[in-house]
């Protein structure tokens, strides 16, 4: 099940094009949604991060390069045009 979910997000394929070896795509999708709603993914992620941090495998340095961080052209505060504005 986890391999099917990982495959879908690694390849960017649509759910209906999931390989047959993973079974019915609806079952995989429904399981993903159920685990998201009931908090399973959050618990797994929290446990994995805690273990990696305890083992010293995490580097919490964050770097943001402003050459690739851009606001949408309409986010610049330009005057709005159109009816009702």
Q: pTM of the predicted model, to two decimals? A: 0.60
Query: Is residue 40 included in any domain, yes or no?
Result: yes
Domain extent, residue 34, equals: 2-54
pLDDT at 61: 79
- 73 found inside a domain: no
Residues in CB range of 80: below 8 A, 6 or more apart: none
**pLDDT score recorded for residue 69:** 61
Can you give the pLDDT at residue 37? Answer: 97
Instruction: Give the pLDDT score at 5.
Output: 93
Residue 36 placed within a domain:
yes
Q: Report if residue 79 sits inside a domain.
A: no
Asked if the structure places residue 10 within a domain, the reply is yes
Structural domains in the chain (count): 1
- 64, part of any domain: no
Q: Is 72 inside a domain boundary?
A: no
| pLDDT at residue 80, as a whole number | 66
Shortest CA distance to 25 belongs to which of 33, 15, 35, 34? 15
Task: In whole angstroms, give the CA distance from residue 43 to residue 68.
Answer: 32
Q: What does pLDDT average to in each consecutive run of 10 residues of the chain (85 residues)?
A: 93 93 95 96 95 89 70 69 64
């Amino acid at each position: 099940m986890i391999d099917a979910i990982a495959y879908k997000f690694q390849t960017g394929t649509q759910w209906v094009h999931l390989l047959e070896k993973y079974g019915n795509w609806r079952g995989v999708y429904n399981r993903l949604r159920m685990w998201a709603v009931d908090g399973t993914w959050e618990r797994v992620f929290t446990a994995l991060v805690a273990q990696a941090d305890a083992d010293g495998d995490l580097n919490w340095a964050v770097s943001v390069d402003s050459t690739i961080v851009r606001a949408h052209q309409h986010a610049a505060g330009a005057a709005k045009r159109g009816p009702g504005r």
